[in-house]
Structure 1
């Protein structure tokens, strides 16, 4: 049995996220599309394991996935087959054979997201699918000050929409960077894991700090409260990209 690792790029605009949804026949996910093509290639059901469950509308520069197969197809043949039959908004960038014990989600140690925010007098027609547009000039310095309160290990319960979580909501954010030029602000967040909507709620709160509707110090109060209603909006999915899955 061979274990095959994939590096994937996708435009999540028309998908209901990465994870297939049992019982929901109307959902279309990245995992559904991959498994459908691989199952035809193998002539039997194939299960694909993804490193991170990106949410509906979220994109990826480098999602990692793996599947097992008895096929003797060469790696370049698998890559060509997938890119031939997958929709054009999903691409397989790399195919590699990895040890049997490798599992994308289990072996991943950290994940990095990137969020793109456009500013300027007029929203760009060409960036509307992949950037959040801010009608306000954002104060990047204050956003950096707010982000600094989140670095390290904290309980991020206030930054998740999942009210049924029974596991510990502690996570470790390794770094948050906020940088900008005249017309764009880019936020990157690297953490050991993300709860549902966690990245987008953090980003939405940082946007509100940048707009001046809340102070940077409010981040500390939000963390301590553990209450979702204390945090800011959930930023739109279209500006969010899974930039990298990190394996140490």
Structure 2
């Protein structure tokens, strides 16, 4: 297995939920965790907590739908750390409405966060990784990329699209030593679900730490091995057979 100490990881949506769990898990493995989030105060708290434990973490405010800000942030990371080893496209959004009720603006917003932003981030960081001769992009997908349910058309569309982008990047990155993995995550006990669906049974969800551990496992694969896709679901997941 590959050791992760000294690697630099940019984690979008790192201020809470799965993103925060990924930052913690990677920092514990010796990674410099770049905690990027549009809610700067959340990112700062995560980074502060990790630094208080003697781990390496840096908080950066980032609106991943702002192309200029994305470009500036990437340059700042490279200037400060000299490289970006891992890009974790984790930030996500959803609007739970039927097709008739869903506004075009809502559609554009969710697609911008869930699909367009991972494309822009990957487009800008992939050349850096190719130049390094190594790197790993992890796209956090969902069981929503494998099946569908009502009132989630834009979320399904964005996550199905993210799977296509992820596998396309995998094909393009392999000849240059750059790995790409789609992590298909089932329901987790995070604000993304618990805040929006207060009636949901938390016992059928999984700890986001378990998914974060899978991300770490994927990143630790030997240089000659890549895992293009992996699914991690709760043992009692109700949205999957």
Shorter-normalised TM-score: what interval? under 0.3
Q: TM-score, normalised by structure 1?
A: 0.23
Larger radius of gyration: 1
Q: Which of structures 1 and 2 has the larger relative contact order (alpha carbons within 8 angstroms, sep 6+)?
A: 1
User: Which TM-score applies when normalising by structure 2?
Assistant: 0.24
Which has a greater percent of strand? 1
